[in-house]
Amino acid sequence: MQASVITGVAFAVCVSMWLTGCATMDSVSNAFSASYALQLQIFLDSQNFGPGVVDGKSGEFTEKALAFYKQSRGLAPNAQIDIGSVQAFARYTITESDLGQVGAMASKPVDLAKLKRLPYATLSELLGERFHTTQAFIAQLNPGRKIDTLSAGDSVKVPNVSRPFDGAHFPAAYPKASAGGRRVLVDTKIRMLQVLEGEHIVAAFPITPGSAEHPAPAGNWTIVGIQPWPWYRYDEGVLKRGERSATFFNFAPGPNSPVGIMWAGLSHAGVGIHGTGYPETIGRSGSHGCIRLSNWDAATFYTLVKSGSPVTIR
C-alpha cells in the first residue's frame, strides 16, 4: 500500500485564488489556517499524539495533542513547532484488496449476527479510516468524483498520514509492544488516554470514556488480554442495565464491529479499551463504560502496551 506525495506550497494556491478572483482576504487566511492545521495534525499523528480526525480543522483534540506533545518533549507551552516540511497531501491508488474489504452491512442485531464479517460499508468509509480522516473530507479533496464507484487502479487525493491503517495487514504489520514498564492513564474529564513510561508521555489519544449513564469505572486496573479482531457479544441487558441476559447475539469481527479492530480487556469485568467504526464520534458521544478509540489509534495502542500493563481511570 503506497501513497505518492503531492508537493506544493499553500501560498501558491492562495495567490492563484487571488489572481483568478476566487478568493477574498478572509478565504486566503482561512486557506492558510486549514493548511497549517492539516500539517500539524499529520505531524502530531506521526508522533503518536492523536489529534482526532485529520481534516484541517483545528479543534480541542488537536490542541490537547499538541500540548501533550510539547510536554513530552520538554517544550514550553508557547513553543513553536517546525512543520514546514510536512507534506499535507498524497495520491493513493485503489487496489483489489481495498475493494475486497467492502461489503454489505446490516442494521438490526439479528441480521448483523448472520454476517461472517462486519466489513466497511463503502469505499469512502475504508479510505476515511485508512487515512485517519472522515468520508466528508475524502469527498472534499476529490470534488466531482463518486468515490464509492471507483475501481482498482483509480487514484484519489488523501491526507499524507505517515501510517495509513490497512485492516488487511493488522495485526501482522503491527508488532506487539516489547518494552515493559509502561502504564496507561485515562482522564475522563479531558477525554484523553496517555501511555507513559515512568512520568514520560509516550503517546496520547482522544477517547470516548463511558457516558453519564454508564461511566468508565474510576480506579486502578490491569490489562488482562489484548485481542485483535475480537468477536462481540451484543446483549441489551449489559448495554442497558450492566447485567448479562439470556437473549444475545454474537457479532463476527470486522472494522464495523461495535468494538472495532481491537479489544484490550481490563481486570474490571466487562470493561475494555477498544476501537470503533465511527471515529468522528470519539469524544462526542457516549459508550457503555468502556474506553473507545478510533480504529487507527487502537492499532497504534496495540503496539505500545501489553497484557499486565496497569491502567488508571480517573
Q: What is the mean pLDDT of residues 211-227?
A: 91
Look at residue 71 in the predicted model and tell me its pLDDT.
98
Looking at residue 48, what is its pLDDT? 98
Average pLDDT over residues 260-286: 92
Task: Give residue 6's pLDDT.
Answer: 66
Domain co-membership, 4 together with 152: yes
Residues 24 and 100 in one domain: yes
pLDDT cut 70: percent of the chain above it: 88
State the pLDDT at residue 213.
76
Q: What pLDDT score was predicted for residue 133?
A: 98
184: three-class secondary structure by DSSP:
strand
Q: Which helix H or strand E contains 130, and what residues bound it?
A: helix 123-130
pLDDT at 15 over 50: no
Regarding whether 31 and 145 lie in a shared domain, the answer is: yes
Please count the structural domains in the chain: 2
Q: Are residues 152 and 11 in the same domain?
A: yes
For 239-267, what is the mean pLDDT?
A: 89
Does the residue 172 lie in any domain?
no
* pLDDT attached to residue 287: 63
Per-residue confidence band for 284, with pLDDT thresholds at 50, 70 and 90: confident
pLDDT given for residue 3 in this prediction: 78
CATH of the domain at 266: 2.40.440.10
For residue 292, with 0-12 CB atoms within 10 Å meaning exposed, 13-18 middle and 19 or more buried, which class applies?
buried
Sign of the alpha-carbon dihedral angle for 109, 111, 117, 119: negative
Q: What is the pLDDT of residues 54-84, one digit of tens each?
A: 999 999 999 999 999 999 999 999 999 999 9
The label of the residue with cell 487496489 reads: 95
Q: What sign has the CA pseudo-torsion 166, 171, 172, 175?
A: positive
DSSP one-letter string for 31-51: HHHHHHHHHHHHHHHHTTB--
What are 100-139's pLDDT values in tens digits? 999 999 999 999 999 999 999 999 999 999 999 999 999 9
Domain annotation covers residue 176: no
The cell numbers describing 245, all together, are 441476559
> Do 188 and 222 fall into the same domain?
yes
Q: Which domain holds residue 296?
A: 182-313
Mean pLDDT of 195-199: 96
Residue 23 has pLDDT above 60, yes or no: no
Q: Are 283 and 207 in contact (CB under 8 A)?
A: yes
CB atoms < 10 A from the CB of 284, how many?
12
Give the chain's end-to-end CA distance (angstroms, integer).
39
What are the backbone dihedrals phi and psi of residue 104, each rounded to the nearest 5 degrees, phi first? -75, 135
Taking all residues of the chain, what is their mean pLDDT, rounded to a whole number?
89
58/187 same-domain check: no
Alpha-carbon distance 239 to 265, whole Å?
17
Picking from 73, 41, 82, 38, the residue whose alpha carbon sits closest to that of residue 56 is: 38
The pLDDT score that the predictor gives to residue 241 is 61
In this predicted structure, the answer to whether residue 202 has a pLDDT above a threshold of 90 is yes
Does 11 have pLDDT greater than 50? no
Q: Final residue of a domain: which of 164, 194, 228? A: 164
